[in-house]
């Protein structure tokens, strides 16, 4: 039913830009084998950079993205730094963390990373993201977030929507048809088989994804990614795209996402882009005291439901099957890439599994 390709990786492209920008920040990791392989097969390979990831804690930006930077993090005692480093390293060595799903993240994490590390680093981030749903989240989800992370981050020339266009071209070359902006009702048309990719799975909760995107005349930060580990801030992450991808592709402007995951009925979902900006401005100034509203040349607001699934304890036992009870109807959505909660790589992998299932007699 969307008018453009890409889904949650879809983009927008104002006049003057050479590349489009995703409505929601996107990158891939160096170990995202399925999407890397697919991109190469359609002649649109990824390129990789090593942008800076920081965390805002105690009003200061700190690097916590490597064992060395963690050891230098003086907001924690040396014992706590070592404890957290060892705990995270242990997760990296577990090849399949689904067995951790029987534990709540809130119960196991303080033991794994230490009570001080959990209280000062992980609890603020997880509370900002999940809120009242945090006690629901299982430990396999957290393992997946740590296990997959790599220093190198990948992107595609022209953005993720450009990759989607290249894939669409290959589909059409092979006789496929893609209909955009189309809605169907039961009985409208007859098909041999149907794949439902709707995000809703009534068995679990979902969070909305929301971004306020700012086009600026000046850079806001030095790094690419800033996790906000501060209580009661109105956004949980700041992503400066042009500290990852060269600003020359965006008319030499600086592009910044202010991102959130929100529960239904959150007041921010009803706010306009101007109202959101007014709410965010005092906090943006805390990130960069020199920031001036006059730096902003354009702004956009985007939001979608079902952006972030909330995986409960022992979720593997309730994952929907690709093949439904109806032999002609199949399903594939973000609730099925568990323990990975989202990501283009796992959408590709799930899509391949669904295609194979549908081709079986």
pLDDT digits over 148-185, tens only?
A: 888 899 999 999 999 999 999 999 999 999 998 888 77
Q: What is the CA radius of gyration of the chain?
A: 21
Percent of the chain whose predicted confidence (pLDDT) is above 90: 75
Give the least confident one: 32-46, 252-266, 313-327. 313-327
pLDDT band at residue 56 using 50, 70 and 90 as cut-offs? very high
Instruction: Using CA atoms of 116, 118, 123, 126 in order, give the dihedral in degrees to the nearest 10.
Output: 160
Identify whether the C-beta of residue 206 lies closer than 8 Å to the C-beta of residue 303: no
Kindly tell me if the per-residue pLDDT of 21 is higher than 80: yes
Question: Buried b vs exposed e over 173-185: b needs ≥16 C-beta within 10 Å?
Answer: eeeeeeeeeeeee
Give all strands of the β-sheet with 47-49 in edge-to-edge order: 28-29, 153-155, 47-49
Q: How many CB atoms lie within 10 A of CB 302?
A: 18
Chain position carrying tokens 């951790």: 100
Q: What is the pTM of this model?
A: 0.92
How long is the chain? 361
How wide is the angle at C-alpha 226 spanned by C-alphas 149 and 127, nearest 5°? 80
């Amino acid at each position: 039913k969307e008018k453009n390709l890409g889904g949650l990786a879809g983009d927008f492209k104002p006049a003057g830009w050479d590349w489009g920008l995703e409505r929601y920040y996107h990158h891939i990791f160096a170990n995202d084998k399925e999407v890397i392989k697919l991109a190469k097969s359609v002649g649109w390979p990824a390129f990789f950079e090593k942008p800076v990831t920081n965390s805002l804690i105690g009003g200061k930006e700190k690097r916590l993205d490597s064992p060395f930077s963690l050891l230098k993090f003086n907001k924690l005692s040396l014992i706590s730094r070592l404890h957290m480093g060892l705990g995270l390293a242990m997760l990296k060595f577990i090849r399949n963390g689904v067995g951790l799903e029987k534990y709540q993240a809130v119960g196991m994490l303080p033991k794994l990373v230490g009570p001080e590390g959990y209280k000062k680093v992980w609890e603020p981030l997880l509370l900002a993201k999940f809120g009242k749903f945090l006690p629901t989240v299982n430990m396999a989800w957290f393992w997946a977030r740590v296990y997959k992370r790599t220093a190198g981050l990948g992107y595609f020339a022209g953005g993720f929507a450009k990759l989607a266009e290249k894939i669409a071209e290959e589909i059409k070359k092979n006789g496929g048809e893609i209909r955009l902006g189309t809605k169907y009702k039961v009985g409208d048309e007859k098909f041999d088989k149907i794949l439902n990719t709707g995000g809703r799975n009534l068995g679990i909760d979902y969070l909305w994804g929301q971004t306020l995107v700012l086009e600026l005349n000046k850079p806001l930060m030095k790094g690419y990614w800033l996790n906000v580990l501060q209580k009661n801030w109105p956004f949980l992450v700041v992503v400066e795209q042009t500290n990852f991808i060269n600003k020359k592709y965006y008319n030499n402007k600086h592009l910044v996402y202010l991102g959130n995951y929100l529960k239904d009925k959150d007041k921010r979902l009803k706010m306009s882009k101007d109202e959101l900006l007014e709410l965010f401005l005092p906090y943006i100034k805390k990130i960069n005291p020199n920031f001036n509203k006059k730096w902003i040349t354009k702004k956009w607001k985007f939001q979608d439901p079902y952006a972030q699934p909330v995986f409960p304890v022992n979720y593997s036992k309730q994952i929907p099957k690709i093949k439904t009870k109806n032999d002609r109807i199949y399903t594939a959505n973000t609730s099925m890439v568990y323990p990975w909660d989202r990501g283009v790589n796992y959408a590709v992998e799930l899509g391949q599994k669904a295609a194979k299932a549908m081709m079986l007699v």
